[in-house]
Amino acid sequence: MAPQATFSAESKGRPTPEEECDLRTAFQRDRDRVVHSKSFRRLKHKTQVFLAPTGDHYRTRLTHTLEVAQIGRTIAKCLRLNEDLTEAIALAHDLGHTPFGHAGEAALNRIMPGGFSHHYQSLRVVDKLEKNGAGLNLTHEVREGIMKHSKGKGPILPESPESLSLSMEGRVVRIADIIAYICHDLDDAIRGEVVSEDRIPADCVRVLGQRNSQRIGTMVRDVVLQSQKTGLEKLALSVEVQEAMVKLRKFLYDNVYEVSLVHEEFHRATNIIYQLFETFQRDDGAFTKWIGPLVPQERRDRTICDFVAGMTDRYAVNLFERLFVPRPWAVL
């Protein structure tokens, strides 16, 4: 591997020390723990862009995660970095995402004192919530990489050290996340007839390609070649490709993420989050029935937030109906 790669034998360890496995490296074990976790399985019913799509081929948070992992492994392999660490970070990076995508995250951010971020929630999931409170006990490198993956409209290649993962593998996941969602969200938007192919900016098509696979290939190849030119001192993109990525991302915000056709349903979803949270906050019976007994050392709102954030879209909708929608009287 390259000198800049993170070696599993040199890991900074786990929160709770444990005996090493004789078959798998520490990062392979982390990857396996994530894949076998409940929060990973729930990603299949969490929104990526389109709320509870009925079509079979729209992305969910799970398929997004798998695409990030595949793109990340390709980049890591080409740069001779640690593929296992890259994959482990990628598979875990969105475990803390809420139901209803970023609309759910925004709702919890407004409700929770101190705010809410799926980055921190993902870390909380692997540290504290999984395995009935025992956590997954992941390595420092995976946990640090989870905290530093991409952020919305932030820079594609940030310069500030506090925005960058300490490992090159964590930085690879960040760029892989952006490549994945730029490409597959556009692909889904075309499939859902939210936008048409002829509306994609012409210079983006010229630089990145006409098809989804071409765009992914162009971005991956560019980050590999440009990073190699730096001697792997940093991840890099050519000016032309980076500008096209920024413009295509802006196109998605202007024409997909923030348009009423997509956004209207998320207003309804946001109200579900608000009402569920408020009900559990004031109603001891509902809290005990659906969440369980309040743990003395945990704040009530923190426990509610963990519960709501962990829901799938359909669980949130079904629970809302159970709590608020009247059912016909069944006794004759």
Q: Distance (Å, rounded) from C-alpha 266 to C-alpha 48?
A: 12
pLDDT band at 18; cut points 50, 70, 90? very high
Nearest Cα to Cα of residue 188 among 270, 252, 246, 99: 252
Rounded mean pLDDT of the chain? 93
Nearest Cα to Cα of residue 172 among 31, 75, 263, 261: 75
Q: Distance (Å, rounded) from C-alpha 108 to C-alpha 99?
A: 10
pLDDT band at 66; cut points 50, 70, 90? very high
At residue 322, the pLDDT reads: 94
By the 10 Å C-beta count (0-12 exposed, 13-18 middle, 19+ buried), 32 is classed as: middle
The three-point CA angle 141-63-195 to 5° equals 120
Q: Look at 150 and 186; give whichever has higher pLDDT.
A: 186
Nearest Cα to Cα of residue 149 among 103, 212, 96: 96
Are the beta carbons of 172 and 79 closer than 8 angstroms? yes
At residue 297, the pLDDT reads: 84
pLDDT digits (tens, 9 = 90+) for 100-109: 988 899 999 9
Tokens representing 186?
């556009």
Other C-beta atoms lying within 10 Å of the C-beta of residue 288: 12
Q: CA separation (Å) from 222 to 61, 128, 189, 225, 242?
A: 26, 38, 25, 5, 9
pLDDT band at 47; cut points 50, 70, 90? confident
pLDDT of 172 higher than 70 = yes
At residue 192, the pLDDT reads: 87
The residues with which 60 forms a beta bridge, in sequence order, are 47
pLDDT of 55 higher than 90 = no
At 161, the amino acid letter reads: P
pLDDT digits (tens, 9 = 90+) for 263-298: 677 788 899 999 999 999 999 999 999 999 988 888
Question: Is domain 8-260 given the CATH code 1.10.3210.10 in the classification?
Answer: yes
Domain boundaries, the chain: 8-260, 263-324
DSSP 60: B
pLDDT digits (tens, 9 = 90+) for 134-167: 999 999 999 999 998 767 778 899 888 888 999 9
Nearest Cα to Cα of residue 156 among 107, 109, 226: 226
At residue 52, the pLDDT reads: 65
Q: CA separation (Å) from 140 to 81, 166, 212?
A: 17, 11, 35
pLDDT more than 70, % of the chain? 96
